[in-house]
Amino acid sequence: DGTSGDGSSLSLGMKSYDDLDFDLHEAAQAFHQIARLVPSLKSRTMGDEVHDARILRVILVDCSLQVAKGGGSTIPARDVIERLRLADVTIDARTVVSVAMKRWLDDTYDNIDKELNRDGGKKSKQRPVVLETHDSQWFKSLKVEFARSGYKLIEMSEAEKLKTPIPILVYGRTSADTVYSIRALVERGLADPRHLCALLSGYEGLEDLAALGTHEVGHVCSSEIYDAAFEFVRNKALAGTPVTEIQADLDDGVLDS
């Protein structure tokens, strides 16, 4: 896991490569050390059957992070991994979380269209989405990315002027802050819980969200998604799926075996 360990609510901001828990070469060295520990498995037998062992190197990292070179140039982390073959499979931390958020937005807008008897097929080029956060860097980062998928990120003050139901993504400094903001929005009647989505990092955030007493609030939890991604890779590998096919599915945000 090469995502940032800064304790933020969700590991999806525009962070420096230096903020990661370890760099790509340290990950490659760790893979090498593990490989040295398991060659004896190749000679182990169970009855008369010999079981071969192979290590599948899987790394989780934001592939868009720029790695600085000595001459002042930069190169995307994904390019470094592929050029030096530092891992067999790369899980793009940004892609899998972004796909989950966009899937929630698609589903929520489908429900809103049905409630209003509105034809979703005649939607405008960019549908508004509120991102309730104090992190301006994170807002700017996602605003550009969501625009490519037909969504326009706006602030709560802008949404109040539109007089129509709008999905709201809530991102706080920590998961606890996120859940507190959700509670305040619901208790003060400022948002329909069905149109709210908590952006969380750890499972403890899910527990806090459940304590609100409403199951209508959606969530995107990076820990939950990353676990699912690793499980997807493991199941695919055990089923004999080629690494190239596993990588292609991950790049498309597919996490269903």
Please answer whether residues 111 and 216 qualify as being in contact, where contact means their C-beta atoms are separated by less than 8 angstroms. no
Within 13 Å of residue 73, how many CA atoms lie on the same side as its CB? 3
Q: Tell whether pTM > 0.95.
A: no
Place 14 in a pLDDT band, splitting at 50, 70 and 90.
Answer: very low
Q: Which residues contact 136 (CB under 8 A, 6 or more apart)?
A: none
Count Cβ neighbours within 10 Å for each residue of 140-165 and write b for 16 or more, e otherwise: ebbeebbeeebbebbeeeebeeeeeb
How far is it, in rounded angstroms, from Cα 33 to Cα 94?
28
Place 117 in a pLDDT band, splitting at 50, 70 and 90.
Answer: confident
If you average pLDDT over residues 40-56, what whole number do you get? 57
Write the single-letter amino acid at 40: S
Q: 62-71, 104-113, 181-190, 244-253 — which is least confidently predicted?
A: 62-71
Place 21 in a pLDDT band, splitting at 50, 70 and 90.
Answer: low
Q: Residue 49 pLDDT > 90, yes or no? A: no
Residue pLDDT, tens place only, 83-110: 888 889 999 988 899 999 999 999 999 9
CA 194 to chain centre: 21
Which helix (H) or strand (E) covers residue 170, if one does? Answer: strand 168-170
Residue 144 is predicted with a pLDDT of 87
If you average pLDDT over residues 179-195, what whole number do you get? 93
How far is it, in rounded angstroms, from Cα 205 to Cα 175?
5
Residue 120 is predicted with a pLDDT of 65
Residue 12 is predicted with a pLDDT of 55
Residue 181 is predicted with a pLDDT of 94
Place 186 in a pLDDT band, splitting at 50, 70 and 90.
Answer: very high
How far is it, in rounded angstroms, from Cα 62 to Cα 75?
13
Residue written as tokens 């104090």? 134
